Structure 1
Amino acid sequence: MQRIVVDAMGGDNAPEEIVKGAAEASLVLSDAELILVGDAAAIGRVLPQVRHDGSRIRVHHAADVVHMDESPAEALAAKPESSIAVAADLVARGDGHALVSAGNTGASVLACARRWKLLPGVRRAGLAAVYPTELRRGERNDPFSLLLDVGATIEASADDLVTFAIMGAAYARVISKNDRPRVALLSNGHEAGKGPKSVVEAYSLLMEHTELNFIGNIEGLDIPRGVADVVVCSGYVGNVVVKMLEGVSETVLRLARYAYKERLMWRVALAMLSGGIERLKGVTDWEQYGGAPLLGFEHLFIKAHGRSGHKAVANAVRLASKALRSDLLGTVAVPLSAYHDRRSRALADTAAGT
């Protein structure tokens, strides 16, 4: 049976919405046990109020919480019994198979990095984010693409970028059922020589040493169009991009509400566009996909949005379950091994020829 560990105290709406989401997931996941980590008394006040399968939920007490505005390193040092630290420990010990949290992103990544081993050939993990696009893809007609890294590795080397590309493509194949996802590097131009040194070198490595459906470089304006299914960049760039994309969608909806209140003519126009606006709201609603993975470790971590409500938490738990059933980590490891074998042979051939 799967054992999915849930950080019950992580997120803006914890523990109420986290516990409610886990309770909802317990009713639909017949092959999973959910371990809620956090203040047992606080969890115990919420759980009896919602429908859940008591045989599939267990509570593991953790005395402290890392709050959203705290410094990750300082908080983890001061709070070794925080819910995210205890949750990561449970998975590291084998008491859980996957971890889900909507809490402090930096603390979550750092807790995993300190307790979990990296997959062979991975130097740094990559945190992914899912974003809406015009185009749809895969057998599920999925309107989302994957962007990584968005904050785990601030400065990525060329090898890191290639690793992110391989892991992201494997995730798209398993989760979105996209057999041949289009992979691109995010740069300031489509030409092969554009971008910082790491991007230029990664371009060559992806072309020469992988079998990915690599389509080259894309620019920022290509992201929402869905030109690529997997977009690869450093964590610094990715973090800026994903927050900008989220801000744009929220601003459009706020402007629509403002226009509706101001003038009758605008209300009439918006009424005519209401179907499109609802479609935009649906596509940009991160609640429906729940979360995105931290890739590169020997264990699975799904990061849910900090503002997650019960629907998003339930979907994040279901995503973790699907990834476990599909052996996501095994699927990621195979092309990583193949890439490093090719890279090693190429370096050996180069050395032999000199």
Structure 2
Amino acid sequence: MLGPTIAFDAMGGDFAPTEVVRAAARLSLESTLQVVLVGDEPILSGLLAQSRHNPERIAVHHASQAIGMGEIPAIALERKSDASIAVAAKLVADGVADALVTAGNTGAAVLACRQSMRLLPGVKRAALASVFPTERRRGGKSDPFSLILDVGAGLEATAEDLVTFAELGSAYARVISRNPMPRVALLSTGTEEEKGPDEVVEAHRLLRTLPGIDFVGNIEGLDIPRGVADVVVTNGFVGNVVIKMLEGVSETVLELARYAYKERLLWRMGITMLSGGIRQLKRVTDWQQYGGAPILGFDRVVIKAHGRSREQALVNAGKVAAKAVVANLTGAMGGQAAWPEDDVRMAAEG
């Protein structure tokens, strides 16, 4: 059986389009997914010719323009109506594809989706989520990740926005992480309910009595890697700073280990003894392993991959997108009906 159709913004990302095409080629051979590569057709077709792939599972949809990582989203989309991210978002909105994957300009991705797709009922602002590795959760849950949102779809958020982010994140954790009752927390400057800016205090009051949400209160930044919450809610400015700081810390630890290994025999012996733990740290902090994270709030599945994504990360991002489609993520959030295939297990595994 054929899996969902994933539209890739083939021109988005630091290593596009080469790495995007390689990922699509792999998916066409290793999964049941259908892939639509959106971008400059002559370039994409030339790259496909250099990669082993299944032509029956890959299509190329021409888009004559691309938006760079450093461009201002609103200005770029206004000037480049045929940009690959805009065309890809429109294909998904029109039902030509089931989900969108992009490693490109985050702001342009959010704005392109806003122009083509609908927000879910009750949602005023989309949220960009990110996952971060944590300690093993209480209760024996095996999923070692927390979902943090918003991390950059917008800068500010009202109390109502924060409550909506909590609902969206909780639904995503239930569907994708198969966590029946994810613990939700607000990121603040202290655990007391009166701590934080006005919108956080008000969101705390609203979430405390919201049915269907396991709200555990406020947490501080140090609680994120401890796995105190499964879903961490904040505004885009704070969330973006937090996730980049956490990512930088893990990369620094690994770099220090490499430096110590090279410098002294005694240090090398110590690092060798710790090698198992260091490999584990690298595995769980490697964003390429989970591929991408969702932009939540739209009536279609949108996965934002890291801007530095290469083939493996993009392959995994495609699989995450497919899993969200077959699990009817948007339906769980109050959006469109389920993907119309009975045997979703095969597609999800593909």
State if a TM-score over 0.5 links the two structures.
Answer: yes
Match of residue 150 from structure 1: 151
**Superposed displacement of residue 55, structure 1:** 0.9
Give the count of matched residue pairs: 333
Q: 1:21 aligns with which of 20, 23, 33?
A: 23
Match of residue 92 from structure 2: 91
- Alpha-carbon contact 1:140-1:176 (below 8 Å) kept: no
- Alpha-carbon contact 1:206-1:214 (below 8 Å) kept: yes
Question: SS where residue 45 of structure 2 aligns?
Answer: helix
Task: Verify: 1:52 aligned to 2:53, yes or no.
Answer: yes
Q: Which amino acid aligns with 1:142?
A: D
Q: Which amino acid aligns with 1:312?
A: A
Match of residue 327 from structure 2: 326
Match of residue 100 from structure 1: 101
Task: Verify: 1:263 aligned to 2:284, yes or no.
Answer: no
- Alpha-carbon contact 2:137-2:228 (below 8 Å) kept: no
**Superposed displacement of residue 209, structure 1:** 2.4
- Alpha-carbon contact 2:120-2:333 (below 8 Å) kept: no
Q: Give me the CA root mean square deviation.
A: 1.5
1:183-262 pair list within 5 angstroms:
183-262=184-263
Q: Which amino acid aligns with 1:310?
A: E
1:224, 1:130 → 2: CA distance? 11
Q: Which amino acid aligns with 1:115?
A: S
- Alpha-carbon contact 2:185-2:233 (below 8 Å) kept: yes
Q: Which amino acid aligns with 2:333?
A: V
Match of residue 314 from structure 1: 315
Q: Which amino acid aligns with 1:11?
A: G
2:9, 2:288 → 1: CA distance? 17
Match of residue 173 from structure 1: 174
Gaps of 5+ in 1: 335-354
Match of residue 121 from structure 1: 122
1:140, 1:312 → 2: CA distance? 25
1:110, 1:287 → 2: CA distance? 25
2:273, 2:5 → 1: CA distance? 48
2:38, 2:263 → 1: CA distance? 47
Question: SS where residue 135 of structure 1 aligns?
Answer: coil
**Superposed displacement of residue 139, structure 1:** 8.9
Match of residue 66 from structure 1: 67
1:186, 1:138 → 2: CA distance? 22
**Superposed displacement of residue 2, structure 1:** 2.4
Q: Structure 2 vs 1, CA of residues 303 and 309 (structure 1 numbering), >3 Å: closer, same or farther?
A: same
Does 159-168 or 44-53 show the bigger shift?
A: 44-53
2:209, 2:63 → 1: CA distance? 48
Q: Which amino acid aligns with 1:195?
A: G
Gaps of 5+ in 2: 336-350
2:332, 2:163 → 1: CA distance? 16
2:139, 2:34 → 1: CA distance? 30
Q: Structure 2 vs 1, CA of residues 299 and 61 (structure 1 numbering), >3 Å: closer, same or farther?
A: same
Question: SS where residue 92 of structure 2 aligns?
Answer: helix
- Alpha-carbon contact 2:28-2:53 (below 8 Å) kept: yes
1:132-151 pair list within 5 angstroms:
132-136=133-137, 141-151=142-152
Match of residue 340 from structure 1: none
**Superposed displacement of residue 140, structure 1:** 7.7
User: Normalising to structure 1: TM-score of the pair?
Assistant: 0.91
Match of residue 35 from structure 2: 34
1:59, 1:315 → 2: CA distance? 20
Match of residue 351 from structure 1: none
1:139, 1:81 → 2: CA distance? 49
Q: 2:7 aligns with which of 1, 5, 8?
A: 5
Moved over 4 A (4+): 136-140
1:166, 1:247 → 2: CA distance? 28
Q: Which amino acid aligns with 1:15?
A: P
